[in-house]
Structure 1
Amino acid sequence: MNFQEYKEKSITEKVNYFLKNLSISNREASYYVKWDKIKKQSKEYTNELKKLNQLLGQKNVEEKAEKLFIEDPSVLEAIPILIALRLRTQKVINVMELDGNYNKSFYSINFSNIDLEKIDVYMKFIRDSGLFEFFKNSPINDLRDYIYGVEVGMDTNARKNRSGKVMKDFIQKNIESVCKRLGFKYEFDIKSSQLKKKWNYSINSDKKGREFNAAILDEKNNELYVIVNDYYGGGGTKPSTVTDGFIELDRSIKKSKDEATFIWITDGLGWNDGVEAFTIAFKKIDYVFNMEMVENDFIYELLK
């Protein structure tokens, strides 16, 4: 179906077409692990980990560890990464303790600026974290190999941003192609306040600092298009919460001083569980496309 045919369909037919052509994933194979990043970060504590290796398999591990820490306090800086904790901005770990009656107390420990006067605190933290037991009964021979596994696990926290980037790159390449074919100006990742400075357009948004993934200007016809793209795989956020936010954004844009057209590009199988909410969005927002529709030149046909 092309855009002209799509335009003539009813809301129900448009929703059905949209849902039928959802992408089953927005994850490339490279989404799962960024090996270059893992390799780089695994080298950060190479020397410290090499020294900590001498604690592996030791029966009197605490005695040997305390001696090692006093001889070379910098070794302690590698302790947080062994429990999958990266101290980039927060240099101090705050720890809660509960006694037998569940009364709580707190202590802080600094692994950035080592204070050997508090060696007992470091020892207690490492003991309570289970690391000493791990050292004593470790099935591995080199902590540097272990860190690779830790880094892979920690890297999963970045997956959400990577999947968002895949869709963002896909949309940008298509918009860039469309605008070159039409001779239109375009900008990526631009805030409503920047549109005023860039093209002298004053448009409202639903919240302060709203950033549009793309903005397109047809100078000849004095028409502005602003685009937000996202991917809804389902999960914790309710479909109605997502759609309500974009309905409000569209409403705000339509009340702007300068006329602008809002385009919402969204995808993901999560929308199969939000048909009712999504149908309402289709009734309120003029242009809602998915990746398949973008690939099939719906934006080009709309703009030309």
Structure 2
Amino acid sequence: MKLNDYICSSSDERLEFFLSTLSITNRTPEYYVNWEKVERETRKFELELNTLNYLVGKENIYHETLELFTKQPDLIRAIPSLIASRDKILDILVIDDNDNMTFEQLNFSKIDTDRIGDYVDFAEKSGLLDFLQNKAKRSLVDYVYGVESGLDSNARKNRSGATMEGILERHVGKIAMEQGLEWKAQATAPFIKENWNIDVPVDKSERRFDVAVYSRDRHKVWLIETNYYGGGGSKLKAVAGEFTELSQFVTTSDDNVEFIWVTDGQGWKTAHLPLSEAFGHINNVFNLNMLKEGFLFDLLKK
């Protein structure tokens, strides 16, 4: 199917074609680990970690730690990295032998030198001192490098969206060069008005469109949003509703504004009803396969 056939089809026919051509994944090799970030986060405390190697295998680990932290309290800043925490201020629930509960807070960014003992107690109760004494066998820098790689996996969900934005930007960049169009990633309504003299109504003042494309010849703007959902969930219904409303909102402009939604992922197969409603209002819903087949190229060329 080509663009014109797709656009002229009924919403049900377009939805059926869209669902039948969804991609299996958008995970490029770069998706799995952001090594630059891992390196950056590890190097933040490289000096402290190398100094803390002194504690590895020590017999009287509590006393040695207390003495070391008293002499060099800045070493305490490395503790969150060693226990796989991004937080630098930790709220801690303490339960004593009688099941009495109290709450404490430890700041690992600004070290309270009057509470060195509390930091050492936390390191002991969290199991960190046992690890340093009995389980750590090599450089703590190498250990934290591995910890950071694991923590970075938590960012994969966000990287999926960033991957789609990157794919879209590269695709639009090539089209714009071939067709003599202008474009801007993360475009705002004020930017579009100031640079292209087109009014774009927005539902919220901080709204940024993933990509905006402008044709000077036609004095027209295309606003493109993109996302990817590999799994199902209630969020898909909300997303479909949001982009349906957004498309209707921006196209109320007195200027020539058209909305495009580029989305993909097998998750959409679990959200047939809300997606069907979106297709009833948005003509230009494309997936990665459609981009590959030139749908966006042809639309911007019309």
SS in 2 for 1:113: coil
Aligned partner of 2:41: which letter?
A: Q
Provide the residue aligned with 1:56 in structure 2: 56
Aligned residues: 301
Provide the residue aligned with 1:109 in structure 2: 106
Match of 1:158 among 155, 160, 177: 155
Q: Which moved more, 1:294-303 or 1:278-287?
A: 294-303
Aligned partner of 2:89: which letter?
A: V
Structure 1 residues 259-283: Cα deviation after superposition (integer angstroms, max 9, x where no partner): 3111111111111111121111111
Aligned partner of 2:299: which letter?
A: L
Match of 2:126 among 119, 126, 129: 129
Q: CA deviation at 1:165?
A: 2.5
**Aligned equivalents of 1:29, 1:113: Cα separation in 2:** 38
Aligned partner of 1:8: which letter?
A: C
Provide the residue aligned with 1:273 in structure 2: 270
Match of 1:252 among 235, 249, 253: 249
**Aligned equivalents of 1:222, 1:34: Cα separation in 2:** 40
**Aligned equivalents of 1:103, 1:205: Cα separation in 2:** 53
Q: CA deviation at 1:100?
A: 5.8
**Aligned equivalents of 2:274, 2:233: Cα separation in 1:** 15
SS in 2 for 1:189: strand
SS in 2 for 1:260: strand
TM-score where L is the length of structure 2: 0.91
Contact 2:52 2:140 in 1 (8 A): yes
**Aligned equivalents of 1:69, 1:177: Cα separation in 2:** 56
Q: Which moved more, 1:240-249 or 1:137-146?
A: 137-146
Provide the residue aligned with 1:183 in structure 2: 180
Q: CA deviation at 1:148?
A: 1.5
Provide the residue aligned with 2:165 in structure 1: 168
TM-score where L is the length of structure 1: 0.90
Aligned partner of 1:44: which letter?
A: K
**Aligned equivalents of 2:196, 2:269: Cα separation in 1:** 38
**Aligned equivalents of 1:174, 1:266: Cα separation in 2:** 14
Contact 2:184 2:211 in 1 (8 A): yes
SS in 1 for 2:90: strand
Flag structure 2 segments of 5+ consecutive residues without an equivalent: none
Taking only aligned residues, the RMSD between alpha carbons, in angstroms, comes to 2.1
Contact 2:220 2:255 in 1 (8 A): no
Contact 2:7 2:283 in 1 (8 A): no
**Aligned equivalents of 2:17, 2:32: Cα separation in 1:** 30
Identity %: 37
Whether 2:42 is the aligned partner of 1:45: answer: no
**Aligned equivalents of 1:98, 1:79: Cα separation in 2:** 21
